[in-house]
Chain A
Amino acid sequence: MPIWTLFGLISGKATTAWPASADGDGQAGFLGFPRFDAAKCESGCADCARACPTEAITVRADRAGAERLSVDYGRCVVCQLCVEACPTGAAATSADWAFGVRERSDLVLGAQADAAVRPSAPSAPRNGFRRSLHIRHVDAGSCNGCESELQALNNPFYNLHRLGIFFTPSPRFADLLLVTGPVTYAMHEPLRRAYEAMPEPRWVMAFGTCAVSGGVAGGGYACRNGLEGILPVDLYLPGCPPNPAAIVEALLMFLDRRQQRVTGGRLGD
Chain B
Amino acid sequence: MTQATDAAPARIKDIPIEAADLPAAVSGIVRGGGRMQMAYAWYPAPGRIQLRYLGSRAQRDEYFMWRCEPRGPVPSVAAICPLLGWYEREIADLFGVAFTGHPEPNRLVLHEGARPWRPPFDPAYPADAILPFDPAEGGLPELESPDVQRLPFGPVRADVVESAEMVFLYVGEHIIHYHPRLFFKHRGMEKRFEGRTLAAGTILAERVSGVGSFAHALAFCQAVEQAAGCVVPERARMLRSLLAELERLYNHLHYLGHLAHTTTLKVGEAEGKLLEERAKQINARLTGSRFLRGLLIPGGLRRDLDPRPWLSGDLESLRERVATYTTMLENTNSHLDRLITTGPLAHDVAFDQGATGPIQRASGFDRDLRRDHPYAAYGGLPLAVPVRPSGDAHARAQVRIAEIDASIALIQRVILLLADGPVRAACAPPPGSDGLGWAESPRGSLFYAVHLGPDGSLARVKIKSPSFSNWRVFPFTVHDSNMMDYAINEASFGLTIAGCDR
Contact = CB atoms under 8 A, between A and B. Distances in A.
Nearest to A11: B271
A194 B156 contact: yes
A151 B267 contact: no
Contacts of B208: 143
A27 B277 CA distance: 11
Contacts of B161: 139, 147
B274 A155 contact: yes
Given A142-B162, A156-B273, A2 B328 contact: yes
Contact of B162 (A31, A53, A93, A139): A139
Classify chain A's interface size: 35 or more
A154 B328 CA distance: 22
Given A185-B130, A221-B120, A30 B289 contact: yes
A28 B288 CA distance: 8
Interface string A30-69: 1100000000000000000001010000000000000000
Nearest to A2: B328
A215 B207 CA distance: 10
Contacts of B211: 144-145, 148
B111 interface: yes
B129 A221 contact: yes
A51 B290 CA distance: 23
Contacts of B171: none
Interface in A209-243: 215-217, 219-224, 240-241, 243
A81 interface: yes
Contacts, number: 210
A31 B294 contact: yes
A145 B163 contact: no
Contact of B276 (A155, A188, A190): A155
Given A4-B328, A184-B187, A190-B184, A140 B163 contact: yes
A5 interface: yes
Given A29-B284, A152-B280, A186-B183, A221 B125 contact: yes
B402 interface: no
A63 B135 CA distance: 47
A186 B184 contact: yes
A7 to B, nearest CB: 6
Contacts of B294: 31, 78-80
Classify chain B's interface size: 35 or more
A91 to B, nearest CB: 14
B210 A143 contact: yes
A167 interface: yes
Contacts of A216: 192, 203-204, 207
A147 B200 contact: no
A224 B130 contact: yes
A143 B211 CA distance: 8
B267 A8 contact: yes
Contacts of A158: 277
Interface string A178-190: 0001101111111
Interface of B: 111, 114, 116, 120, 125, 128-131, 133, 135, 155-156, 158-163, 183-189, 191-192, 196, 199-200, 203-204, 206-211, 213, 254, 257, 265-268, 270-271, 273-274, 276-277, 280-281, 284-291, 293-294, 302, 328, 331-333, 496-499
9 contacts: A11-B271, A53-B200, A79-B294, A143-B498, A151-B254, A186-B133, A223-B188, A240-B207, A241-B291
